[in-house]
Amino acid sequence: MNKKVSNKIVYLNFILAFLILNLHSAYMELFDTNNTVLVINQFVRIVCNMAVPTFFFVSAMLFYRSCKRKRYKEVIIAKTRSLLIPYLCWNIICFPLKEMKNVFGGGGTIASVPEIIWNILSSSYDPVLWFIRVLFIYFLFYPVNVCLLNKKKIYPFLIVVIFFINIYIGPKAGYATCRYWLPVYMLGAYIGYWHHDRVFDVKETKIKYMNIAAAVALQIVLFIWAMNNNYGLFVCRMISPIFYWVIADIFQNLRHPLWVMKQSFFYYCTQMIFSIVAQKIYLVIFGKSAISAIVSNVGIPFILMLILMCVALTFCKVWPKGYAFLTGGRT
């Protein structure tokens, strides 16, 4: 992989992390809204909704471009360190916060030991981490996927079949399950396995603006279709990562990304802990007006991102080994 593509991936991941911060922090319930604000917010949230499938798509492409050289035991050890351990640790860290909120804020009682264990394993204490759980499960079955990938002409047919199975079951059913995201993950795996040279080893440095413009136009059409249409939203999630990847070519000639732009995993894991703080700061500064509600789609995640950057920099400087452990070695 050349340096330009590597930089492109870092910038893309950073933007995707910002879009996910929007999904989990910019809530219209906090503001005095009207129909216009709600429509604008709906469109923005559809744009942000494409971040998760793009993460699945890019993760699969990156892994399967070189999976032929990897042994199963080595993969599981590496993914346990980079995904499973951080997944469990961040849920354990969030466990007392959630339980205290339940007891003191909701008048409930502390969960039993079996309930606590299940809540940790199922990411109930840090719900956004379901993505990491699903991704780890995909890696557990990577030898099976490689066997299927070797059937080059059959594999695309399997993607289409699973896609229509999901359509038949229902586009809203099982959002946080392996079955729901399998088509877009398999699409990324197929491209990474069979076309990695065209994706990651490109020598051309000139940005193809016509391709980017076409991708943006098609993406906007998909966004409009996805509004108030669950089937359109599902199709958009399965296809949009290709367009996001093409559009991300605009980043390939930018300067080398800063360290804080490479910490998307940390931002993803810690966003729920600090999202309320970002919301309170924004409301104090900008109030609850309709205009403030529209601006909050950028304002709240921007404040949250600044907080998380400061936390990441401080954490890594004060306890670098702890930071590395909780981010799966991503330093």
Average pLDDT of span 116-127: 92
User: What is the model's pLDDT at position 203?
Assistant: 65
Identify the band that residue 204 occupies on the pLDDT scale cut at 50, 70 and 90. Answer: low
Answer yes or no: is pLDDT of 153 > 80.
Answer: yes
Instruction: Yes or no: say if 163 and 136 are a contact pair by the CB < 8 Å rule.
Output: no
Q: Per-residue pLDDT tens for 10-57? A: 999 999 999 999 999 988 888 988 999 999 999 999 999 999 999 999
* Rg from Cα positions in the chain: 20
Answer yes or no: is pLDDT of 102 > 80.
Answer: no
User: What is the model's pLDDT at position 107?
Assistant: 60
Cα separation, 325 vs 331, whole angstroms: 9
Average pLDDT of span 152-172: 92
Answer yes or no: is pLDDT of 137 > 90.
Answer: yes
CB-based burial label for 269 (10 Å; 0-12, 13-18, 19+)? buried
Answer yes or no: is pLDDT of 321 > 80.
Answer: yes
CB-based burial label for 228 (10 Å; 0-12, 13-18, 19+)? exposed
- Here the tokens at position 112 are 């039993």
User: What is the model's pLDDT at position 138?
Assistant: 97
Average pLDDT of span 268-289: 94
Q: Per-residue pLDDT tens for 284-293? A: 999 999 999 9
User: What is the model's pLDDT at position 197?
Assistant: 82
User: What is the model's pLDDT at position 273?
Assistant: 92
Identify the band that residue 311 occupies on the pLDDT scale cut at 50, 70 and 90. Answer: very high
Of 135-139, 198-202, 275-279, least confident by mean pLDDT is 198-202
Average pLDDT, the chain: 92
Cα separation, 143 vs 189, whole angstroms: 12
Task: Supply the pTM of this predicted model.
Answer: 0.94
* Percentage, residues of the chain above pLDDT 90: 77
- Here the tokens at position 231 are 């089937």
Answer yes or no: is pLDDT of 278 > 80.
Answer: yes
275: number of Cβ within 10 Å: 22
Q: Per-residue pLDDT tens for 223-248? A: 999 998 989 999 999 999 999 999 99
Look at the chain and count its residues: 331
Identify the band that residue 200 occupies on the pLDDT scale cut at 50, 70 and 90. Answer: confident
